[in-house]
Each structure stands twice: as C-alpha cells, then as structure tokens.
Amino acid sequence: MSFNIPNTSRKRVVIVGGGFGGLKLANKLKDSNFQIVLVDKNNYHQFLPLIYQVASAGLEPSSISFPFRKIFQKSRHFYFRWATVNAVVAEKNLIETSIGELHYDYLVIAAGTITNYFGNQHIEEAALPMKTVQEALNMRNTLLSNFEKALTCDSPQEKQALLNVVIVGGGATGVEVSGVLSEMKRFVLHKDYPDLDDHQMNIFLVEASSKLLSAMSPEASASAERFLREMGVNVMLNTMVKDYRNNKVIFDNGEEIPTRTFIWVSGVMAAKFDKMDSALLGRGRRIMVDEFNRVKGSDSIYAIGDVCLQTEEAFPNGHPQVAQVAIQQGVLLASNLKKILLGELPEAFHYRNLGALATVGRNKAVADINNIRTHGWTAWMIWLLVHLRSILGIRNKLVVLINWVWNYITYDQSMRLILSAQKCKDQDQKKEEEPVK
Amino acid sequence: MSFNIPNTSRKRVVIVGGGFGGLKLANKLKDSNFQIVLVDKNNYHQFLPLIYQVASAGLEPSSISFPFRKIFQKSRHFYFRWATVNAVVAEKNLIETSIGELHYDYLVIAAGTITNYFGNQHIEEAALPMKTVQEALNMRNTLLSNFEKALTCDSPQEKQALLNVVIVGGGATGVEVSGVLSEMKRFVLHKDYPDLDDHQMNIFLVEASSKLLSAMSPEASASAERFLREMGVNVMLNTMVKDYRNNKVIFDNGEEIPTRTFIWVSGVMAAKFDKMDSALLGRGRRIMVDEFNRVKGSDSIYAIGDVCLQTEEAFPNGHPQVAQVAIQQGVLLASNLKKILLGELPEAFHYRNLGALATVGRNKAVADINNIRTHGWTAWMIWLLVHLRSILGIRNKLVVLINWVWNYITYDQSMRLILSAQKCKDQDQKKEEEPVK
C-alpha cells in the first residue's frame, strides 16, 4: 500500500486528524496554493458535543458525522486518506502510517486526545468511554442490553448491578449524560419496561473535585448540580474512583457500587506518536508549541487543538481543551501558513473565549457568556441554537431539528435499537456472529 | 435467567419472531384476552424492503427499525423478551431459549428465513448477505472500505477486485442493490474519489435462471433488465456460481470474476429449531401447515409467514415468501385464535395477491398490480407511496421522506460512514479495538 498522492510543485501540508481544528484548517487551506492531505482513522468528522445524544438513543450517528470526502468534494488539491498515523519522523520530514509513509513540507498534528484511564487496566477494560461515535453506540447498546437482561435476571444483586449507572467525571459530558439518562429513567423506562421497577435504576455522577463543570463559573457549577439533584441524579463530589472489580466500582474510601454500566468521562490525554522526542511533551502528554503553534525546535511541524500545549499571558498553564481553541488555532494557522509561503511573518495566537455552555436536560442548561451567566430555559435555547448552527449541512440540521422537536414533544428518545457486533468484513476473514446473550 | 412472566388465567400465546407476520399478529392480539409473549433475537422490528437503502448509505438503521417495546408500550398483557429460540419441545408445550424455557398454550412460529448458501462454506464465509439491518451496515462498511483501499492499493489486480461488485441473485433485492450501486457509481463515486478511475468500478448482477424478478410478470422482468443494462449493470443470466476462492467468484462454466464485494442475495431457507420432527419440514425447510396455519399433528403450534409452507388451489407449491402473505396470515390467525378461545370454528386462509413492486433506480420501478403492469415513473411513485405508508411512526416517515427528497435532489447518498467493529460490551469482557487496516 501507499498513499498514491502526486508529487507536484505545490508545498504539501499533511494534517493528522479531522476534528474541529484539523477540519477548520483544511477548509481554510483548500483553495490555497498548498497541496492538502488529511489523514484520519475515520472517514468522517465527528461533531462531539452531541455524541451523548447518540449514546442516549436521541440521535443517529449520521446526524453528527460528516464524511470528509463529501465535505471536500469540490477541492482539487485536497486528498483524504483513511489511515492510522503511527510515527512522526521529524528528521526525514515523513509520517509512518497504516498505509505507508508520506513526506510532508508542513505537518500539522491535530489528533486530539484519547481517554485517560490513569493506568488502571481494570477500569480500561470495563469502562464505557465516550470520545467517538462508535463508543457512543457501544454505550447505547450496553445500556439497552442491561435493561433487557435485568428483566430476566434471577439474582437481585445482579439485577441491581444491571440497573445502576455510574458516570465518572463531572465535566460537560458527565453532566449531559447524567441529565439525559435521568430523563430516560423518568419518561421512557416505566413505559418500555412496565414489569421493571424503575426505582431500581440509580444514576450516580462521580466527581473527584469539589464541584461539577469546574471549567465554568461557580454559578454554572451550582446550577448544574441543583438541576441534576432535582432530576434524581446522585451527585457524588470529592469522590475518587480507585478501581473496578467484580462488576463493582470501588472508591477511595472503600465504598463500592455494583454496576454493569460504568461510564468513564473522567479525563483525557493527548494522542501520541512514536519516534517523537518525548521532551516535547508537557502536561497531559500535550505537545508543546510556541505562539505560532509551531512544535519547539522545528520549522515544519505544527500542532493545534487539544493535542497541543500553548501558553499565553492569560493561560499560563495552557488553553482549555475545547472546540473553540482548536477552531481559532486552525483559522490562524491557515492564514500563517499562507503568509509563510509568501515570505511574510506569521501572527501570534491569542484565544478569544466565546463562553461556555452545558446542557442538563429539558429546558435546563447553564451558560457563561462574557459576563452574562444564565441558567435554565434561556441558556437551553442558546445551547440549542449554537449547536444546531454548528452542525454541517442542511439535511443534517433538518433531521436533528425534527428529532429534537419530536423528542421534546413526546418525551421520548426513539432510537432504542441494540445493534450488535458489526465488523468491517474482510472477504478473507471468517464471519463473526454475535450470539444474543 | 428466566422469562419472569406471570402465570395468569389468560391463555399464553408465544410468538417467535417479530417480522411482518409476527408483528401483525401481536398487534391484532394485544387487546384480546390472551397473554402475549413476543420473542425475538433483536429488540426491534426490521422493515426489510428498505434494507438495501441502508446498505447503500441512503437511510439510517433507525429509520427502518422499530423497537418492539415502543410499539407495544400501552399493551398491558404483552411481554417482549430479547432471546434466541433454540428448540421447540411440542410434547411439553415449551420452547428452549437463550434465557431459559417458557411454556405456551399456543405457539406461533413466525421466525422467517435465513440466507441459504447451499452448503458452500467458502461462499458463506466470504459473502455479504442482506437479510438484516446489521448485514446492511456490514455491506455499507465493506463497500466504502474497499473504495478507500482501492485508492492506496499498489497492485492493479487487487485494485480491480476492490472495485468489482458481484451481486448474486436476481430477485427484488438483487435488482434494487444493483440499481442503487450503479447510481452511486454514476453520481457519487467520481465526486468522492476524483483520483480513482470510476470506469474501473464494475457491477455484475448474476442470476441462475433466464430472467430477473422471476416472481413477477415477463413485462416486469424485461423492463428491470433493460433499466439495469441502460444504467451500466452487467446482467448475467443463466449463470451459476460454483464457488468463491482467493477473492474470486467462480462460475459453473469455469469463468471467474475477482471481487472483494461479493453480495449474496441468492436464496433463503426457513429458520430451524431443534427437537422438532423433521418430517414436518417441506421444500426450503419450511414447516408444513394446514389451511389454518396449524402445524401438522398439533393443536397448539402454528406457523405463519416465510417459515411455513401452506398450499391452496392457486398455490399448489406454497405461497411466495413475501411480506403480504405473512401479514394476511397474521391477521387471520389473530382472528382464528380469538374464535378458538370462544369455541368457534376457525376460518381457512386464502392469499389475496395485492401485486408486486420492485424499484430499479431514480424514476424507475416495475409494478404488477392485478392486471395492470406498469414500469418507469408511475411504478416508481407507487413504490415510494406504498413503502412510505408502511413505515411505522410519523417521525420515521418524515425522516425517510426528507432523506428521499434530499437524495433525489442532490443525487447523493449522504451517510457514507465507515463505522467499524461495534460490540455490545459486557463489563467482564476485554475491550475489542478494531485497528484501521
């Protein structure tokens, strides 16, 4: 295998990862004088802010996943390649991937983060992460299968473990998942499973620090906590998870909660590549970059978004790992690369914080926008509009809107399908059948 | 594990399989004096006539899959259980399943058919069947992965195998898949893969008999064939597949076509259960039933739909295995079971043929309705209306309609996601990661 990309007189920019930062960069560069190669391990961009709605059966994967080839159909000097990048060989200006090597003139690492299990193998094996569409589908399948199994389970202990949901991590994803699951419990569970005692479903949201949404204002944290408690979520602050064994979450203080639905949204670490100098990595394994997002000691390697660590006066420990930083860095880097090509001087990055939003449930969200801090219905409407606007494509916007309106009116998440093992089948490979239970 | 279904004074009807027949029967019986237990290996009903549109990235699984629990939310004496039925023990009036045994007063087998590979292990291992939503997603993944691999493949032979699509079976599904893939080739491929020579994608539709759509009128067969040839499909009639080896389809006459996308929609056989008397099985392994759909020699076991073999004067070899037969048998059996409960005499089944439809492409379908035989735009509009009407739920109708209108206007199937291995994760089980090629 090989990349099969023509060598032309154009300078080649290779972008690793098509998340918010990589996608924005590619979009801004597509009609420039560069040749652009985007490499991603999926053939689609994922709109991660809505992934929890896929997990909770409210949206379909295709509503929040956009095939790169479709986005860049009209770009002549753009190449997408579906591959995993294994190593960055700076001294040879090339990357090593699952489909071979590729030389670059400029490399932009925009590979984001992966879930951090803090080295605990038991947790890694058992936990349901929520960083990809695929993982969201896994969560949907697990949750629904566990309800089905609870119905036919003969042991009361096992039944309780099947109905307990433990979510570790009180950031935006943890808050959003707890909220949507508590609504599923309240509005759907007793209708779908009339012969299951719905009081048995318990939702625990576990956070190591003293407040939820620690990146937001104290007002937002307090409102989110109050909303969740009112919705019946057991919010456990100042609580550390130590281990997961025998289908039980084990806490630092020795307490345990039996659960088969153990959702882990507790932390991330930057994606990692072989053959890169580990001295370049900072806190959270992030790649240290200068004010132009240039990797220290290199003229041709850049990093943007969650994978990089860039400091400025207002952010001495680096920027928050959020979409807005990645998008703004993508925009500026596109402009800087064009300047460099013309021999002009690049511009330094300054993050403009547009605010933060998190949704908790129906008519309930929290928003910090500049000095305006709001919660409840207004924040919820802002959240809806901001996210609907960000979804790519008119068809997707329409389908998401219909689903939202529908779910709102009917109090129902209707995509409650358990779609079991699905393999990208290779003709040489033995077919795999997933036996039901 | 156990079924956990209360024993009451109500007679228990156990329905195995929630396809067209089983679902209709359950719907008609839900407010009767029976206790209804529906057992299915999926937690959703699949609307199979549109499955090929999931395979070709035009629709999402949730648009054609309907969770049983949602359909029967308001039915008090209805129980759904997610399980695989292994055996029918007639002498004890019970079924053996993956979640334990269950006694019945009346058993209705509505389990449909499975793909028939005619005993060829190589074909079974390599072929992509299209009987379930899951299999349709597998096909979508395989097709799209093969395009991606073709781009980076260094061997011309291997590249051709990745771009050849061979569809075996010239029934409605084979015709519909060939048609939609030829439109994908014509309208999408060159836009998504400008650096791939789209003349290299060849679509072969292979049929053992002398005509396509052999269940329809000669006019319909001829029109479908003409449409497909005009659309660039290589229709191969009177051609038998002998084997599949080394990524090649091998025909009876010794010819070969290399392909990595080998779609098998060539035949079915009835689902099978252990401990049933094999003397009860007829052609295609179908369970022989009398005019009341009663399994021969039993008072309490019935079979409806594709799984059963029932003859009447106009159908000496049994009914065609189509949705309409199953639905009509479901309706009548519901009424007959109610009559039997009241001590009345049941009514014999007579199939009322409402006609047959198959779609080939944009504005192109064939229809046999009573003596009216039409093809082209009129047939296509009939096809659209009939299928839209049959989809359960307003939200689904709306979403399908938007997708259809969208695809029609844009000449685009937009759900081109490769969603790789997806497991219903068990907390004890080691996580499985699918490395991207």
Indicate the residue type of A430.
K
Among residues 70-109 of chain A, which lie with CB inside 8 Å of chain B?
70, 73, 76, 79, 81-84, 98-100
pLDDT, position A423: 38
User: CB of A44 within 8 Å of any CB in chain B?
Assistant: yes
Alpha carbons within 13 A on the beta-carbon side of A139: 29
- Interface residue B194 vs chain A (CB under 8 A): yes
Residue B417 has its nearest CB partner, among A43, A148, A419, at A43
Chain A residue numbers with beta carbons less than 8 Å from the beta carbon of B398 are: 402
**Model confidence band, residue A424 (pLDDT cutoffs 50, 70, 90):** very low
Task: Report the C-alpha gap between B240 and B9 in whole angstroms.
Answer: 55
Q: Determine the pLDDT at residue A432.
A: 35
Instruction: Evaluate if residue A326 carries a pLDDT over 50.
Output: yes
- Please answer yes or no on whether B424 and A424 come within 8 Å at the CB atom: no
Chain B CB contacts of A79 below 8 Å: 195
Q: How far apart are CA B349 and CA B309, in angstroms?
A: 12
**Quick one: CA dihedral B274, B277, B278, B281, positive or negative?**
negative
pLDDT at B416: 86
Q: Tokens 């060159």, residue?
A: B190
Using the Cβ of A210 and the Cβ atoms of chain B, whether some distance falls under 8 Å is answered with no
The rounded distance, in Å, linking the Cα atoms of A409 and A402 is 11
Strand pairing report for B164-168 and B202-206: parallel
- 8 Å CB contact of B152 and A4: yes
Mutate to test the interface with A, among B80, B151, B249 (most CBs of A within 10 A): B151
Q: Give me the half-sphere count of Cα atoms (radius 13 Å) on the Cβ side of residue A46.
A: 25
Q: Show the CA angle centred on residue B160, arms to residues B156 and B166, nearest 5°.
A: 165
pLDDT higher than 70, residue A436: no
* Residues of chain B positioned with their CB less than 8 A from the CB of A259: 427
Give residue B399's pLDDT: 87
* The residue to which tokens 């433990």 are assigned: A166
A10 touches chain B (CB under 8 A): no
Rounded CA-CA distance A407/A363 in Å is 13
- Tell the residue number behind the tokens 């990745």, with chain if given: B162
Q: Position B36: which residue type?
A: I
Are residues A419 and B134, on separate chains, in Cβ contact within 8 Å?
A: yes
From chain B, pick out residues whose CB is under 8 angstroms from the CB of A422: 134, 137-138, 141, 419-422
Please answer yes or no on whether B4 and A148 come within 8 Å at the CB atom: no
Report how far residue A418's alpha carbon sits from residue B152's, in angstroms, rounded to the nearest whole number.
34
On the CB side of A265, how many CA atoms lie within 13 Å of its CA? 29
Chain B contact present for A193, CB below 8 A:
yes
Confidence of residue A427 (pLDDT cuts 50, 70, 90): very low
Residue range(s) in chain B whose domain bears CATH number 3.50.50.100: 121-266
Quick check: helix, strand or coil at residue A276? coil
Q: Are A260 and A146 in contact (CB under 8 A)?
A: yes
The reported pLDDT for the residue numbered A435 is 34
Residue-wise pLDDT for A65-76, tens only, equals: 999 999 999 899
Q: Residue A389: left (phi > 0), alpha (psi -120 to 50), or beta?
A: alpha
Chain B positions touching A43 (Cβ under 8 A) are 144, 148, 416-418
pLDDT at residue A47 tops 70: yes
Minimum Cα–Cα distance from A434: chain B residue: B423
Question: What is the enclosing helix (H) or strand (E) of A360?
Answer: strand A356-361
**Token pair for A422:** 């699905």
Mean pLDDT across chain A: 92
ipTM of the complex: 0.90
Which A residues 252-271 touch B at CB under 8 Å?
A: 259-262
Using a CB–CB cutoff of 8 Å, tell me whether B124 touches chain A.
yes
CATH number at B121-266: 3.50.50.100
Rounded average pLDDT over A387-397: 88
Tokens of A18: 């098509």
Mean pLDDT of A176-186: 95
pLDDT string in tens for chain B (437-residue length): 899 999 999 999 999 999 999 999 999 999 999 999 999 999 999 999 999 999 999 998 998 999 999 999 989 999 999 999 999 999 999 999 999 999 999 999 999 999 999 999 999 999 999 999 999 999 999 999 999 999 999 999 999 999 999 999 999 999 999 999 999 999 999 899 988 876 789 999 999 999 999 999 999 999 999 999 999 999 999 999 999 999 999 999 999 999 999 999 999 999 999 999 999 999 999 999 999 999 999 999 999 999 999 999 999 999 999 999 999 999 999 999 999 999 999 999 999 998 999 999 999 999 999 888 999 999 999 999 999 998 888 888 888 998 898 888 888 877 888 886 443 333 333 333 333 33
Neighbouring residues of B195: CB distance < 8 A, sequence distance ≥ 6: A4, A79, B151
**Chain A contacts in chain B segment 369-408 (CB below 8 A):** 393, 395, 398-399, 402-403, 406
3-class DSSP string for chain B: CCCCCCCCCCCEEEEECCCHHHHHHHHHHCCCCCEEEEEECCCEEECHHHHHHHHCCCCCHHHCEEEHHHHCCCCCCEEEEECCEEEEEHHHCEEEECCEEEECCEEEECCCEEECCCCCHHHHHHCECCCCHHHHHHHHHHHHHHHHHHHHCCCHHHHHHHHEEEEECCCHHHHHHHHHHHHHHHHHHHHHCCCCCHHHCEEEEECCCCCCCCCCCHHHHHHHHHHHHHCCCEEECCCCEEEEECCEEEECCCCEEECCEEEECCCEEECCCECCCHHHECHHHCEEECCCCEECCCCCEEECHHHEECCECCECCCCCCCHHHHHHHHHHHHHHHHHHHCCCCCCCCCCCCCCEEEEEECCEEEEEECCEEEEEHHHHHHHHHHHHHHCCCHHHHHHHHHHHHHHHHHCCCCCCCCCCCECCCCCCCCCCCCCCC
What residues are paired with B264 via a beta bridge? B168
DSSP string of A277-309, one letter each residue: -GGGB-GGGPEEB-TTSBBTT-SSEEE-GGGEE
CA atoms in the 13 A half-sphere facing the CB of A374: 13
> Is domain B12-41+83-115+269-341 given the CATH code 3.30.930.10 in the classification?
no
Sequence ranges of chain A with CATH classification 3.50.50.60: 12-41+83-115+269-341
Q: Which residue of A has its CA nearest to B71?
A: A192
Q: Of A4, A8, A37, A43, which to mutate for an interface test with B (greatest number of B Cβ within 10 Å)?
A: A43
Tokens of A226: 């109050």
A245 contacts chain B (CB < 8 A): no
Closest-CA residue of B relative to A425 is B142
Q: Indicate the range of A373-377, A405-409, B41-45, B97-101 predicted with least confidence.
A: A405-409
Amino acid at A422: Q
What pLDDT is attached to residue A420? 65
